[in-house]
Amino acid sequence: MSERNVVQRTFDEFGKAAFGSKKAGSWYRRSDETIVVLNLQKSNYGLSYYVNAAIWLLAAGPAQSPKPSQCHIQTRLERLVPAESRDRLEALLNLESPIEEEARREELLAQFHQHLLPVVESAVTLNSLRFGDGQRFVEASLVDGEGQRLLAAG
């Protein structure tokens, strides 16, 4: 088994603290109305990563551990950060960028806590996805037809 790199370890450190439940590489947070899924995806074109964030709406039907691609609402962390912060996030997630390991870890954790945690914490109900950080998550996402129908029903 290969050693995990700083991006993978930092993502798991955040996931364990914010979610606690991991299956097949994805972190899950379940509420009465949603399942939030976080997943770290390696690029096919180098040593860079993407953080996928997705929401399964339980009003559409039960699920245990949906993959991000199966969820009703899907986005990437880069779409949740302000435009002026995207280049730095991409550099932090790219192991080919010359950043000292501990600095990369600390900055990644700060990015996760500042830009990912608020939207994850807001995604507990359909209603909370219609306002504030939940609305920001939805606006930065691809929403399938079922998700659009359920969000509009409120």
pLDDT band, residue 119 (cuts 50/70/90): confident
Q: Per this entry, what is the length of the chain?
A: 154
- Domain of residue 45, residue span: 6-142
User: What percent of the chain clears pLDDT 90, i.e. is strictly above it?
Assistant: 92
Query: How much is the pLDDT for 43?
Result: 95
Residue 152 counted as domain residue: no
CA angle 110, 114, 116 (to 5 degrees): 105
Look at residue 154 and tell me whether its pLDDT is greater than 80: no
Residue 154 counted as domain residue: no
Residue 150 counted as domain residue: no
Looking at the structure of the chain, the number of domains it has is 1
Q: For tokens 């037809």, what's the residue?
A: 145
Q: Is-contact 106 99, C-beta < 8 A?
A: no
Q: Is-contact 75 135, C-beta < 8 A?
A: no
The dihedrals phi and psi of 5, each to the nearest 5 degrees, come to -85, 175
Residue 151 counted as domain residue: no
Residue 153 counted as domain residue: no
Look at residue 1 and tell me whether its pLDDT is greater than 70: no
Q: What is the per-residue pLDDT across 75-117, written as a single tens digit (0 to 9) for each?
A: 999 999 999 999 999 999 999 999 999 999 999 999 999 999 9
Q: Is-contact 56 32, C-beta < 8 A?
A: no
Mean pLDDT of the chain: 95
Instruction: Report CA Rg, the chain.
Output: 15
Residue 149 counted as domain residue: no
Residue 62 counted as domain residue: yes
pLDDT band, residue 2 (cuts 50/70/90): low
Q: What is the per-residue pLDDT across 124-142, written as a single tens digit (0 to 9) for each?
A: 999 999 999 999 999 999 9
Residue type, 126: L
Look at residue 44 and tell me whether its pLDDT is greater than 70: yes
Three-state SS at 79: helix
Residue 77 counted as domain residue: yes
Phi-psi map region of 132: left, alpha, beta (phi>0 left; psi -120 to 50 alpha): left
